[in-house]
Amino acid sequence: MKIYDTALGPFPARVRIAIAEKSLEPRIEFVPIDLLKGEHKTATFRDKNYSGTVPVLGLEDGTFISECVAITRYLDVLDGMPTLTGTTPKEQGVIHMMTKRAEMEFIEAISIYFHHATPGLGPQVEKYQNWEWGIYQRDKAFAGMRYFDSILRQQPFVAGDFFSMADMAVLGGLIFVDHLDVEVPTECYTLSSWYKAMQERPSVKNRVTMFK
């Protein structure tokens, strides 16, 4: 299997964490994609993923799977023992719900802020920017952080009592925040403490050292 991504990307981080959680590193070949050069927007790359985003999972039969949730689901069930996406209908429903909330209310919002209200990936890639829309999305991300802070005051992980795909989505947002000129709101002390603890998790700590 091949993963087309970039070592420091917040979206690739979600899949890299899943790979480590499932101990799949020996089965993966990482193919670096240079986002600053716009390699993800080329026709060659779009043949793999029409949306022009990373990460993308390439299978030996020529199938390409994009989107973090889809890739994670595929990797999680390879061994027949899913640990990240739930085993019961209730677990699966809650995990997918919280993952979607993390995407809509946090990681996608902070991503839009990056692409519209900062230099982003540079003029070669950022063909259109709307500063006001970017600032609006930054504030939406702040609200999302407050929401997840309230969730983590009630339970140890985003979707309940165990680490899951939903946690990886929130981690992706926090990793993005680390690279930008924004900070987690000071009142979100539970979220900040949780993030600090998660950074010591081996799958999170070693995510940028997976290139071979």
Name the pTM for this structure: 0.95
CATH assignment of the domain containing 141 = 1.20.1050.10
- Return the pLDDT at 211: 61
Range of the domain at 38: 2-83+205-209
Classify residue 65 by burial, with Cβ atoms within 10 Å: 0-12, 13-18, 19+.
Answer: middle
**Looking at residue 206, what is its pLDDT?**
87
Are residues 175 and 137 in contact, defined by beta-carbon separation less than 8 angstroms?
no
Judgement on whether residues 99 and 191 belong to the same structural domain of the protein = yes
Q: Write down the pLDDT at residue 209.
A: 79
Pair 78, 99 in one domain: no
Q: Is the pLDDT assigned to residue 212 strictly greater than 80?
A: no
pLDDT of 181 over the 70 cut: yes
Percent of the chain with pLDDT over 90: 93
Please determine, for residue 86, whether its predicted confidence score (pLDDT) is greater than 90.
Answer: yes
Give 163 or 208, the one with higher predicted confidence. 163
**Model confidence over 198-210: pLDDT tens digits?**
999 999 998 877 7
